[in-house]
Amino acid sequence: MNIDILRIIALLDIILIHTLKSQNNFDILNFMFTFVSIGINLFIMISGYLLLDKEENIWVFYKKRFFSIIPLFVMWSIIYIIYYKENPLYVIAGYRYAAGHLWYVPMITGLYIITPWLRKVLKYCEKETRMVILMWFIINILNPALIFFKLPFLNLSAFPITGFLGYYLLGYYIRKYKDKIHVNYYKVLYIVGFIFTFTVSWYFMKIIGKKNVFFYDKNSISVFFMSVSFFVIIIKMNFTYIKGRTATIIKFLSGHSYFVYLAHLLFYETGMLITKNFYLVTLLCIGASYFMAYIYGEAEKKVGKIFRNRRIQNK
């Protein structure tokens, strides 16, 4: 249940990153952007949490992962190529994505490809991997902040461990050591990170007069601490009281999160043609995306049932 709730929050964060473009009040915008900036990081840590502590056949793993993400990715790429009137050859050649948010799928696919190797590394070299995470933090999280504030930094720009690998590995470590984690420290860390991000962004806009999105970035130092802290806080919460219909709804919302992630930009842009009101656009985007996900899920079940019945008849 904890992971389902985290997945729903991560998805809503990402949707709000797009729909907040229709919000004109900077104070509301700043507060909300500070909160939703952790969405992608949560998704990646969820994957690390669920996948890196497992043992399974490499081909079974690849089959499950790729069949769950690639067909929908291709389908929605075609839809966005048609919608945006993109040149399909540019998309196929890799020069651009059919829609901006689709970058996530090749990125997570890359992490899936190296997952069997990472499992072996973590099994036999867990302590050494902590040093890799430390170096990733210095290069990917700390150095940009030092450069931003014009402070001395380590010039290791060619260091190969960059990108989202650190968040993926952190998901594993949180799962492994969650029983030893004192959640109160992370609550304080999250609040400090939130206040820092909100205040610095407010300062640049209100005092200096320049909008600065650096501290909303998924790899900014404050968003890093917010991401890890928020993940730990939700993981440590007790949701056993959630049962019955509420639990079913949460499972539905979580189970269709990937489809909704792919679909939401289309419904956001369609909603913007109807109204510029942030709240209405957001509700329309979320509601329409989940409705489409439900229709797709029901159609998939019926098609699957037809094929299963045909197999039985042919035996």
Residues 75-112 have pLDDT tens digits of 999 999 999 999 899 898 888 899 999 999 999 999 99
Region of poorest pLDDT, from 2-11, 191-200, 299-308 = 299-308
Taking the chain, what is the end-to-end CA distance rounded to the nearest angstrom?
40
Residue type for position 33: F
Contacts 24+ apart (CB under 8 A), 297-304: 297/256, 297/259
Q: How far is CA 27 from CA 158, 191, 201, 280, 308, in A?
A: 38, 18, 10, 19, 54
Structure tokens at 144: 């940009």
151, containing H or E segment? none
* Mean pLDDT of the region 10-37: 92
**pTM of structure:** 0.91
Look at the chain and count its residues.
315
104-124 and 165-177 helices cross at what angle (nearest 10)? 50
- Backbone φ, ψ for residue 277 (5° rounding): -70, 125
Whose tokens are 């690390």? That residue is 48
The proportion of the chain whose per-residue pLDDT surpasses 90, expressed as a percent, equals: 66
Number of Cβ atoms within 10 Å of the Cβ of 298: 10
- Per-residue pLDDT at 61: 93
Whose tokens are 């473009």? That residue is 21
Sorting pLDDT into bands at 50, 70 and 90, what band is 150? confident
Number of Cβ atoms within 10 Å of the Cβ of 313: 7
Tell me the H-state helices in the chain: 2-19, 26-36, 39-51, 58-84, 88-93, 104-124, 126-136, 143-148, 165-177, 183-203, 221-236, 244-255, 257-274, 278-314
- Backbone φ, ψ for residue 276 (5° rounding): -100, 5
Residue whose C-alpha is closest to residue 217's, from 147, 311, 151: 147
Residues 254-288 have pLDDT tens digits of 999 999 999 999 999 999 999 989 999 999 999 99
* Mean pLDDT of the region 126-142: 86
Buried b (16+ CB within 10 A) or exposed e, 159-198: eebeebbbbbbbbbbbbeeeeeeeeeebeebbeebbebbb
Q: How far is CA 142 from CA 42, 134, 136, 172, 242, in A?
A: 19, 10, 9, 21, 39
Sorting pLDDT into bands at 50, 70 and 90, what band is 154? low
* Mean pLDDT of the region 34-61: 94
- Per-residue pLDDT at 158: 53
Whose tokens are 């979580």? That residue is 254
The proportion of the chain whose per-residue pLDDT surpasses 70, expressed as a percent, equals: 95
